[in-house]
Amino acid sequence: MTPQGNATADAMAPATPSSARPSSTWTGWGQWLALVTMTVDHLSRYIAPDAWDLGWAGSSIGRIAFPLFAAMVAWHGLFNTRNPLRYARRILVIGLVAQLPYMLMPRASDALILNICFTLSLGLTGGVWLRALPARLAAGTLGQPRLVAEAAIALGVWGVAGLWVEYSHHGLLMIPLYMLAMQHLHLAGDTLADRLKAAAMALPVLVVAGLMNSSDMAKSFTVATCLTALLLAAGAHRLAPAVPTAMPRRLWLAWYPGHFAAMALWLWLAGQLG
C-alpha cells in the first residue's frame, strides 16, 4: 500500500489549495468524542464486571470511536497536512508504543492482533496511494505493467494485513474510501451529475461501515457516524463552532497507549488482590 515513484510528490500536497480547504473546527469536537467513546468501549469490554451487563455500551457508544478516528485521519490526510505519509508514520509510532499494553487486555483468542493505530496508519497509506493514481496516470508516469504490479502489491498487503489488524479488512478500507468520498463531496459542483457522482462515491463508505459489525445496534451507530462525517465533507463543516477547550496535544498523543497501560495495571492489581 506504499506509494511508489512520482506519487510521493503528489501525495505530499494537500488535495485542495489553502484558500479552498474546508474548515476543520469539527475535528476539535471529534477528538473529545472519539476519546470518550473509545474509553467507554474499552472500559465496558475489559474492566466492567460481567454482572454489570454493559455489553450494550460497546455495541452502541463504543461503535462511534473507530469510524470517527478514521474520518479525522482521512480529513487531515486530505486537507490539513502537506505530508500525509509522515502523518501515517506518527500514527504508527503511537501504535508501536501502545501494542504491549494492548496485548495485555483479556481476549477470547490468543491470536496476535495489532491495535487500531496500525489499521489507521496502513489505511492512510493506502488512501494516499489511491489518491495519487489519477494524477500519475494523467501525467503518463505510470505504465500498465507498473500499475498492475502496484495494484497486486496493494491487494497483497491488504489481504495479509487484514488478518492481523483490529477491524480487519473492512477497517483497512475505511480511510481510502473516506478520502475518495470526502474529496468528491467537497469539490462537487452544482449540477445533478456532479452531485450524483459524489453521492455514489460516498455509498461504499456506508456499505463497509455496515459490514464491520454483526448486531443491528452496532451497525446503526457505525453507519450513522460515517454518514455524519460525509455530511461534514459535503458542507456541514461550515456549521461547526470552535470547540471551547481544545484537546491538549500531549493528551491526544498519550491517551491511547496510556489508557491501555492504566487498564493493564488495574487488571494486574485486581488479580493480585483477588
Q: Kindly report, residue by residue over 9-27, the tens digit of the pLDDT.
A: 344 444 455 547 899 999 9
Share of the chain above pLDDT 90, in %: 74
Amino acid at site 220: S
Give whole-number Cα distances, 22 to 64, 114, 130, 187, in Å. Answer: 23, 33, 21, 10
- Select the more confidently predicted residue: 144 or 16: 144
pLDDT in tens, 226-250: 999 999 999 999 999 999 999 999 9
Lowest mean pLDDT among 3-17, 67-81, 243-257: 3-17
Residue 1 near residue 179 (C-beta atoms within 8 A): no
Domain boundaries, the chain: 25-270
- What SS3 class is residue 114? strand
**Cell numbers representing residue 112 in the block:** 496476535
- Using CB atoms within 10 Å of the CB of residue 159, give its burial: 0 to 12 exposed, 13 to 18 middle, 19+ buried: exposed
**Cell numbers representing residue 160 in the block:** 495479509
- Using CB atoms within 10 Å of the CB of residue 115, give its burial: 0 to 12 exposed, 13 to 18 middle, 19+ buried: buried
**Cell numbers representing residue 18 in the block:** 489553502
Give whole-number Cα distances, 40 to 51, 152, 164, in Å. Answer: 17, 39, 24
Lowest mean pLDDT among 8-12, 13-17, 105-109, 255-259: 8-12
Res. 8 pLDDT band, cuts 50 70 90: very low
Helices 116-139, 144-161: crossing angle, 10 deg rounding: 170
Task: Report how far residue 264's alpha carbon sits from residue 271's, in angstroms, rounded to the nearest whole number.
Answer: 11
Element (H, E) at 197: helix 192-211
- What SS3 class is residue 165? strand
pLDDT in tens, 188-211: 888 888 888 889 999 999 999 999
